[in-house]
Structures are given as C-alpha cells and as structure tokens.
C-alpha cells in the first residue's frame, strides 16, 4: 500500500509541476469574458484533472474546436479569470456547485442537457418540484463509474431518499432490484416522464413509458401486452397496479391481496362502476364461494390479463 501511495503521489506531483509550468505560460491569457481555458485550472486542481479523461465531459475538451465557454472546466463552472487572479477561493468561482442553490445548479446543467430527450420533462418532474437537483444524484468529479456519473450505485442513490421503497424491495415477493437484475430506471425516469397513457393520465409523473407509449411493465412482460380480442378492461385502462404492487409485496406475484378471490370480488360486485355503468359482473350462481374450487379464480380463468378466444378468460 505504501509503495502504491508513493507512486501515486509521485505521479500527481509530476503532473502538478508540469501543469504549473503550463499555467505559468497561460496565466495572463484570459480571453474575452474572463475565460482562461482548462489548462489554467489543472495547475491547482491536478487531482481532478488526473482522471478527467475518463469523464464524459472530457469530450468537450477532446473535440478541440469548442470555445472555452463550452469546453472543459469553464463550461460548467463559468469563466475562471477572477478565480485565477484571486489565486483561488470558492467565492470567485461563478458556478461553485457545492455553494449554489439547487435550482441554480439545475439551470447550469440544463444549459447543455435540456435537449436530451430523457430530460424533456424535467421542469414538471416531481424531483424538480421537490427541489432535487442534478448534484443530488450525480457526482461530476467523484463518480465511481463514468456512465451517467452517478454518485453511487443507482439503487443506493434512490434508497437514500426513498427508504419506504427500499423496505418494499426486501419483501419476499419483489422485482429483483437488490439482486442486480433490474434498476429503478428500468421503469422510472428520474428526470420526469410524459403523462401516463393509463389511469387518468394524471400521476405518476416519473414512470417512464416503454414501447413508445405503454406502461413500462410491458417492456418485459410482453405476453401481457396483447392486443387481445377480449381485453380485461382494468388492465388496459387502469394499468397493472390495479391488481399488483409494482415494487414488491408480501403476497405472491406482487398481488395486492394474499388470496386472489378477495382481489377479484373487490371489483366484481355488481356495483355502479365498470364499463357497463351498471356494475362489473358478479359471479354466476353456480360459483359457490364456500367450494374451494371457486376460491382460486385464476385456476380456471387462466388468461386473466386478456384472451383471444374466451371472453371470460378461460383459455
């Protein structure tokens, strides 16, 4: 360990000296607007510059044809002339993210990223309304992986605020998020999503759509997508969560109830709801609920998500 640390220290020291030499040549070369270029920054911030070539933002430096206002350090932090003249200090950095209000940090990032399709709805996302800004989740200079520059593994980031959701994924029946098979962003867009095409199009605002315009569940569970000649209307109209918990459940198959007939009878009670205006049909008189055969609805109604050949989903 000591030998490794020494080698690393020597490398950093050498880089610092070289950068200092370069900065000495550039220090008086502030351009219009106070931009000095990234070469000046790495004089003192060698620790950041050392691995910056692994950062996606390094593309702006590598391109070589962008002005300082759109390349490297100053494209995010603003012109560094004053900071250089003052020989450092956070107060002289126009955009010092650790000291900025989150709303301002969002605006700086959106200078370039507003046009990303995945961020098209960020202005109305629940994260933005709740004051969650880019730097709440992304670490530009200390991200463990350069892909998306997340400050931590994605699930751990989300659990940091959503402890109740974390508890759900530790239930016995769950989507395999903790196991690494899935990630939150498989279903959610943390930057905001288009209005849902299910339920009444009101909420949620951060559930992404799959296959252009469908509920994300159908991205994996394509066999439930149809189209079916006989659709089970709640599936198509209200979405999967009318019967299932989307994250996890103590009930098998993520169902909202441990015993399926209580779920089915919740709607099939002849009340004034349903597509007929006169109630969702109740069971026939031959279905004696005291007979165990009729307590397990899906034993016979096997195609409960939709069928092409039977309007009662028997096959």
> Restricting to residues 253-272, which ones interact with another protein according to CB under 8 A?
253, 255, 257-262, 265-272
Exactly one of 28, 33, 53, 88 binds another protein (CB under 8 A); that residue is: 53
Considering only 25-33, 55-63, 77-85, 88-96, which stretch makes contact with another protein by CB under 8 A?
Answer: 55-63
By CB under 8 A, residue 300 contacts another protein = yes
Burial 96-121 (b: 16+ CB within 10 A, else e): ebeebebeebbebbeeeeeeeeebeb
Contact present, 244 and 253 (Cβ < 8 Å): yes
Specify the residue, 15 or 85, whose C-beta has the smaller distance to another protein.
15
3-state SS class at 138: strand
Specify the residue, 18 or 103, whose C-beta has the smaller distance to another protein.
103
Least distance to another protein, CB of residue 74, Å? 17
By CB under 8 A, residue 22 contacts another protein = no
Site for another protein in 180-209 (CB under 8 A): 180-181, 194-195, 197, 199-203
The two structure tokens encoding residue 204:
């949620």
Of 91, 77, 10, 11, nearest to 40 (Cα)? 77
Specify the residue, 87 or 179, whose C-beta has the smaller distance to another protein.
179
3-state SS class at 43: coil
Measured distance CA(310)–CA(58) in Å, rounded: 58
Q: Which runs of consecutive H residues, i.e. helices, occur in the chain?
A: 2-26, 38-41, 46-49, 58-63, 72-77, 81-85, 102-113, 126-129, 134-137, 154-161, 163-168, 217-220, 233-237, 260-267, 297-300
By CB under 8 A, residue 302 contacts another protein = yes
Specify the residue, 81 or 208, whose C-beta has the smaller distance to another protein.
208
By CB under 8 A, residue 14 contacts another protein = no
Site for another protein in 215-254 (CB under 8 A): 219-220, 222-223, 225-231, 233-234, 236-238, 242, 250-253
Considering only 9-17, 23-31, 67-75, 80-88, which stretch makes contact with another protein by CB under 8 A?
Answer: 9-17
Specify the residue, 28 or 54, whose C-beta has the smaller distance to another protein.
54
Specify the residue, 85 or 150, whose C-beta has the smaller distance to another protein.
150
Residues 6+ apart with CB under 8 A from 274: 233, 267, 280, 281
Least distance to another protein, CB of residue 190, Å? 16
Exactly one of 58, 185, 188, 244 binds another protein (CB under 8 A); that residue is: 58
By CB under 8 A, residue 279 contacts another protein = yes
Kindly report the CA angle at 298 between 293 and 303, in degrees rounded to 5? Answer: 140
Residues 6+ apart with CB under 8 A from 225: 211, 214, 218
Site for another protein in 81-140 (CB under 8 A): 101, 103, 114-115, 117, 120-121, 123-124, 128-131
Specify the residue, 24 or 222, whose C-beta has the smaller distance to another protein.
222
End-to-end CA distance of the chain: 66
3-state SS class at 173: strand
């Amino acid at each position: 360990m000591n030998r490794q640390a020494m080698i690393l220290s020597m490398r950093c020291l050498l880089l610092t000296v070289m950068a200092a030499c370069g900065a000495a040549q550039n220090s008086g070369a502030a351009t219009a607007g106070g931009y000095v270029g990234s070469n000046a920054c790495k004089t003192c911030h060698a620790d950041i510059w050392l691995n910056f070539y692994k950062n996606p933002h390094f593309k702006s430096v590598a391109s070589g044809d962008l002005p300082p206002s759109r390349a490297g350090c100053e494209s995010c932090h603003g012109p560094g002339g004053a900071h250089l003249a003052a020989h450092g200090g956070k107060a002289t950095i126009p955009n010092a993210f650790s000291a900025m209000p989150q709303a301002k940090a969002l605006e700086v990032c959106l200078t370039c990223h507003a046009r990303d399709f995945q961020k098209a709805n960020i202005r109305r996302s629940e994260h933005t309304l709740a004051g969650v800004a880019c730097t709440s989740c992304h670490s530009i200079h200390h991200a463990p992986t350069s892909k998306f520059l997340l400050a931590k593994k994605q699930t751990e980031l989300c659990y940091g605020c959503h402890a109740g959701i974390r508890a759900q994924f530790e239930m016995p029946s769950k989507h395999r998020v903790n196991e690494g098979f899935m990630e939150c962003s498989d279903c959610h867009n943390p930057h905001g999503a288009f209005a849902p095409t299910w339920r009444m199009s009101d909420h949620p605002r951060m559930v992404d759509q799959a296959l252009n315009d469908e509920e994300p569940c159908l991205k994996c569970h394509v066999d439930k997508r149809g189209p079916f000649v006989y659709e089970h209307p709640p599936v198509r109209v209200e979405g999967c969560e009318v019967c299932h918990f989307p994250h996890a459940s103590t009930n098998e198959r993520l169902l909202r109830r441990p015993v399926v007939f209580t779920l089915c009878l919740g709607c099939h009670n002849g009340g004034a709801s349903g597509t007929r205006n006169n109630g969702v049909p109740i069971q026939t008189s031959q279905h004696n609920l005291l007979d165990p055969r009729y307590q397990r609805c899906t034993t016979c109604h096997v195609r409960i998500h939709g069928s092409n050949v039977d309007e009662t989903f028997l096959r």
